[in-house]
Structure 1
Amino acid sequence: MREDILEQLVDDHLQLQGYFTRHNLKFKPRSDHLAFSKRHDSNHSDIDVVGFHPTRLGDDRVVAVSCKSWQSGFDVRSKLEEVTQNKRRGGRESWKYFRELVEPKWSEAFVDAVEAMTGTRKFTYVLAVTAIRGDRSLWENHAPFRQAIEGNPIRVLALNDMIDGVCSNLTTTVVPSQLGRTLQLLKAAGLIGKVDPSSIGGAAQQAFAAGGGRRSPSARSGARS
């Protein structure tokens, strides 16, 4: 089980939908980039989880997930203001928590890393957080962020979105992670798993809804009834 519970939940959520996953994919700006700074750009950042689905088509065939396990949750409007106005949080410039959405050389490196692993520059960028406070679409539709990652869609997912998603896909088959097995037992006990579809953010579900992605013709023809 991974130390970051949110990251493990993302992993379970993706794997239960048929994604292959990889954790901590490192990236940093090219040393020959015109804006490269040896002082500021020599250390790698990493993409927390990358998922690849072999039969889906479109932007959700590949997902690149950044996990922010902030106990206070994610206040969309406040965080957007912090990042765009270059405010500081905990003594650190807020944009650095989202450098791939703000700094062009880091944006390029992020997309390059996804392509190097998956063979495509088309993907869905997912921000996974503990709780969403406010309208997630403000972040998802912020034009400079979309432009930074070459027009790819952005989704914000909360912990409850993912727990609902995991529970809706759990069966009696033992799942591989300790967290998944814990959720499986809680669902069996009737403590969780009663999902109200209206409580799940529609925009977020476009990226992660079970079976929601378009499948290739070969996958459809081979699907079981």
Structure 2
Amino acid sequence: MIDLRRLKTRQPAKRLALTLIEVLLVLVVLVITAAFSWPLLTRAFESQRLRSAADLIRSRLTRARIEAIETGRTCRFQYSIDGRSFSIKTESNSEETAGDSELQAAFGVTRAERRLSGELPEGITFAPPPDGGTSAPAGISDIPGDITSDITSEDVEGASWSPPIYFHPNGTTSSAVIRLRNAHGRALELTLRGETGVVTVGDVFADESL
């Protein structure tokens, strides 16, 4: 005769084993899905960081153009090739230079030029100019716009600085393409149109130069 009580006590244990197997299967599926999804998520995150860095540079270029228009003085933008540092300097005109000479002779001081320096986010650098432009290696004294107090020594020694990008009081600028890239082989370009001074940001793409 079948013992119904023993049968009832065994059924929950059997069901528990099946539930554990189902949980393990679900975990395996989740791990496999995460393994395939993680590179896509990482790429999306790094692409967003590139766009944020591009927005930073675009805002600085726009600021340099406005500065040139409002002050009536030419502004100059330069960046460290394969580095993170950049500099914006408002150049003195001839009248101000003469005035500075008088101040220097009388009091030993000069009127400080407007300068702005900064850095890209960690892991993002300026690529060499896409048009093949080159610049000579810069020592401490050659760095544009006295930015040595704002950057680290490894950014200074052996650094190469891009050709100057000029912003003129009439609103025109140098025509230039600035490429930003990260360590994951992704890059994007900012295009500055000389006649209008408008800066556009392109899409993220694979940087084959790495």
Q: Is the shorter-chain TM-score for this pair beyond 0.5, marking a shared fold?
A: no
Give the TM-score of the pair, scaled to structure 1.
Answer: 0.24
Give me the TM-score of the superposition, normalised by structure 2. 0.26
Rg larger in structure? 2
